[in-house]
Amino acid sequence: MQKSNFIKRIVYSIVICLFCSNIMVAQETDAMSTYTPYSLYGLGEIEKQGTAFNKSMGGIGVGVRDNRFINYLNPASITARDTLAFMLDFGAASKNFYNKDTKGVSSAYNTFTVQNFIFTAPIYKKSAIIVGVSPYSNIGYKFRSVERDPDLILNYGDIAYEKYGIGSINQVFFGAAMDFFKHFSVGAELVYYFGDLERHSDVVYTTNGTVSSVENGWDYSVGALGGRVGLQYFTKLGKDKELTLGAAYRFGVDLKGELTRYSHSVTDSQIDTVYTSTNDKYIQRIPGELSFGASFKKRDKWMVGVDYTRQDWTNSNLAEISDVGYKPAAASSIRVGFEYIPNKYDIRYYLKRVTYRIGAYYDKTNVSMYGNQVGAAGITIGSSFPIYRLYNALNWSLDLGQRGSLKNGMVKEFYFQVHINVSLHDIWFVKKKYQ
C-alpha cells in the first residue's frame, strides 16, 4: 500500500510540474499559439478538438466509448468508465508550419502550447461529470514587405509594411452524462468561451535616420456562454465485439465583447493617437456544429471508427474581405481511425501492451478565397505507453498535413504537429477495510 501511494504521488507530481513548466514556456516564448496565414480571417484557425488519443486516429471520437481515456468530443461518452474511479488528462502540443505562396516566398515557424486539462469523476452508478479547458480558435500570422518604388523611398525613406495577429479563444466546459435503457448514454455541457484576439497593420519608415511608424490595430475581447449535447447508442455484437453510434451538437453562440480600433503615430518613442474607437457591444457568431460518428471494436484488441462534422459559417456575421476574395464558408470534415493492441494483459513483453493507432482526415475549412474553399488533408499516427497500472498512460500523436493550394494567390501550407498527453486513472471511491 505504501509503495502504491508513493508511486501515485510521483505520477501526480510529474503532471503538476509539466503543467507549470508548459505555462512558463508559453509565457517566455512568442505569444503565437498557431502560425498560418489562414488565421487572418474570421475567428482564426478553428482548433481540432480532442486529446492525443483522438488525434492519433484522425480526430474521431463522436461515436467512440472507451474506459481508458477521456473522450470529450461527445459529452455522452464520459459514462464509459470505471464507476469508482476518477480520470485526469493533461496535454501539450508542438506545431510546426512551412508556408509557400505563388511568388515562391516561403516561411517556417514552430509553436508550443498547452492543449487541454480535463477531469472526470463518477456521480452515482452509471453517471459522471466532466470539467475541462481547451482552446477553440487561434490567430497567429506575420507578414512583412518592403517598398521598392525608388520615388517613394526618395521622399519618405525606407518603408516596410507589417501585418501580424495573435490571440486565442478558449473554452471552459462543465458537463454531466448518464446511461439509460442499457444501451443509451446522453450528456450535456455548459461551455464558456473567453479570450482576446489582436490584429495589427503597421507602416514603418525611416527619415533622416529616425525610425517612425503608423500603427493600426484591432483588439477584440470576448466572453459568452454556450453549450453542447450528445447521444450515444452502444450494443454488444457477439461475445467480445461492440458497436457504438453517436451524435453531438454544439449550439451556436454570439461572442459578445469589446472591440477597439485605433491608429497611432509613433516617432522617437512618442505616441500620438490619430484615431480610436470602442464598441462594447460588438458581436461575432459561432454557428452551430453537428457531428456524427460510429465505431466498431473487438474488446481489448482493435477498434475502427469514422466521424463526420459540419459547421455552416456562411450565416455568421464574419466580415468579407473583397481585395483577397475572402468569404466565410460551410466547414465540414470526414475522419477515420484505427487502433490495435497486441496483448493488453501481457506481463512479459511491455511493447505488446502498447496501443498503436493510425488515422486520416479531409477538411473543408470555413475559409473561401475567390470562390475556392480552402481544404486540408492529413494522416495521423500515435500510440499509448502504459506508465503505471493498466489505464495510466503516456500518449502521443503525430499529424502530417497540407492545407490550401497555389491557386489565385493562395498559400500552400505544410505542417506537422506533435501532441503529448498524460492520462491518469485511479480509484478514489472505495472505503478501505484495512490498512
239 in a structural domain: yes
Report d(CA 197, CA 139) in Å as an integer: 7
432 in a structural domain: no
289 in a structural domain: yes
Q: Which domain holds residue 212?
A: 2-427
Residue 208: pLDDT over 80: no
Classify strands 330-340 and 355-369 as parallel, antiparallel or unpaired.
antiparallel
Q: Band of the pLDDT at 335, cuts 50, 70, 90?
A: very high
pLDDT of residue 8: 47
Instruction: Write the pLDDT tens digit of every residue in 228-241.
Output: 999 999 999 988 99
Q: What is the DSSP letter of 228?
A: E
Find where cell 497486441 sits: 342
pLDDT of residue 89: 92
Instruction: Write the pLDDT tens digit of every residue in 37-63.
Output: 888 888 899 999 999 999 999 999 999
Instruction: Write the pLDDT tens digit of every residue in 128-146.
Output: 999 999 999 999 988 888 8
Tell me if residue 49 falls in helix, strand or coil: coil
Look at the chain and report how many structural domains it folds into.
Answer: 1
More confident residue, 149 or 109: 109
Over range 330-357, report the average pLDDT: 93
277 in a structural domain: yes
434 in a structural domain: no
pLDDT of residue 176: 96
Q: Band of the pLDDT at 290, cuts 50, 70, 90?
A: very high
Instruction: Write the pLDDT tens digit of every residue in 241-256.
Output: 999 999 999 999 999 8
68 in a structural domain: yes
Q: What is the DSSP letter of 81?
A: S
pLDDT of residue 28: 37
Q: Band of the pLDDT at 20, cuts 50, 70, 90?
A: very low
pLDDT of residue 213: 81
Instruction: Write the pLDDT tens digit of every residue in 160-181.
Output: 888 889 999 999 999 999 999 8
Tell me if residue 5 falls in helix, strand or coil: helix
pLDDT of residue 292: 98
CB 99, CB 413: distance < 8 Å: yes
CB 178, CB 79: distance < 8 Å: yes
pLDDT of residue 2: 45
More confident residue, 419 or 346: 419
433 in a structural domain: no
Helix (H) or strand (E) holding 53: helix 52-55
pLDDT of residue 109: 87
Which has the minimum average pLDDT: 22-26, 129-133, 307-311, 341-345?
22-26
Over range 98-125, report the average pLDDT: 85
pLDDT of residue 429: 54
Report d(CA 340, CA 68) in Å as an integer: 14
Residue 24: pLDDT over 80: no
CB 96, CB 417: distance < 8 Å: yes
pLDDT of residue 398: 97
Whether the model clears a pTM of 0.85, i.e. scores above it, the answer is: yes
Given 3-state DSSP classes, what are the helix, strand and coil percentages for the chain, each rounded to the nearest 5?
15, 60, 25
Instruction: Write the pLDDT tens digit of every residue in 254-280.
Output: 998 888 888 888 877 677 777 788 887
Q: What is the mean pLDDT of the chain?
A: 85
CATH number at residue 330: 2.40.160.60
pLDDT of residue 303: 97
Tell me if residue 387 falls in helix, strand or coil: strand
Nearest to 89 by CA among 185, 178, 18, 176: 18
286 in a structural domain: yes
